[in-house]
C-alpha cells in the first residue's frame, strides 16, 4: 500500500487519502497536488452528513465554507446567532445541538443535490423573526380567497 496523505487542507483532523494525490518537490519543501479537489470535498461533505454521528465545530465550518456561506448567513438560516455559530466552529471537537445539526445536514444535502427548496424555506422562516405581525387582508378571487401582499394593500389604499 502506498503512503497515506493526512488531508489537513480540508480543515478536518480525521481525513486521509490513500490515492488521488501526488507528492512533489518544491523550492519550499514537499508539495501535494490533489486530483479533482472539488469532487473530493463533495465526497467528504456527503460522508459527513450521512454518518450517524453528531457534527462537530470543524465539520460545521467545512460544510459552511463548501456552501459558500458566511457565518452570519448560515446562522440566520438555521435560527442561531452569528456569535453562537462562531463558538460552535471554534470548539472544533464539540458536537453542535441536534436541531442545528439536522438543519445543516438537510441544507448541505440540498446544496449538493442542486435543489433549493429547503434553503428557500429556511430563509423564509428566518425572515419571520425580522417581520412584525401585521394585519393580513384577504381578497376573494372567484371561488378562492387569497392573501394580499403589502404592495397590493398599498395600491388599494392609494
The pLDDT of residue 40 is: 93
Q: Which of 86, 66, 87, 68 is nearest to 10 (CA)?
A: 66
Q: Could you give the CA distance from residue 117 to residue 123 in angstroms, rounded to a whole number?
A: 10
Radius of gyration for the chain, computed over Cα atoms and rounded to the nearest angstrom: 22
pLDDT, mean of residues 64-83: 96
**For 52-73, what is each residue's pLDDT tens digit?**
889 999 999 999 999 999 999 9
Rounded to two decimals, the pTM is 0.74
User: What separation, in Å, do the N-terminal and C-terminal C-alpha atoms of the chain show?
Assistant: 77
Can you give the residue ranges of every domain in the chain?
Answer: 1-35, 38-158
Per-residue pLDDT, 118:
77
Amino acid at each position: 500500500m502506498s503512503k497515506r496523505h493526512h488531508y489537513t487542507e480540508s480543515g478536518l483532523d480525521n481525513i486521509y487519502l490513500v490515492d488521488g494525490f501526488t507528492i512533489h518537490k518544491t523550492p519550499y519543501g514537499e508539495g501535494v497536488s490533489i486530483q479533482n479537489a472539488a469532487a473530493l470535498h463533495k465526497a467528504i461533505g456527503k460522508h459527513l452528513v450521512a454518518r450517524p454521528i453528531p457534527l462537530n465545530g470543524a465539520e460545521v465550518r467545512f460544510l459552511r465554507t463548501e456552501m459558500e456561506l458566511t457565518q452570519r448567513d448560515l446562522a440566520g438560516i438555521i435560527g442561531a446567532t452569528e456569535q453562537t455559530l462562531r463558538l460552535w466552529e471554534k470548539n472544533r471537537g464539540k458536537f453542535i445541538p441536534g436541531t442545528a445539526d439536522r438543519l445543516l445536514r438537510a441544507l448541505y444535502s440540498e446544496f449538493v443535490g442542486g435543489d433549493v427548496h429547503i434553503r428557500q424555506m429556511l430563509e423564509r422562516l428566518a425572515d419571520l423573526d425580522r417581520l412584525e405581525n401585521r394585519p393580513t387582508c384577504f381578497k376573494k378571487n372567484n371561488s378562492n380567497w387569497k392573501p394580499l401582499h403589502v404592495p397590493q394593500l398599498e395600491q388599494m389604499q392609494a
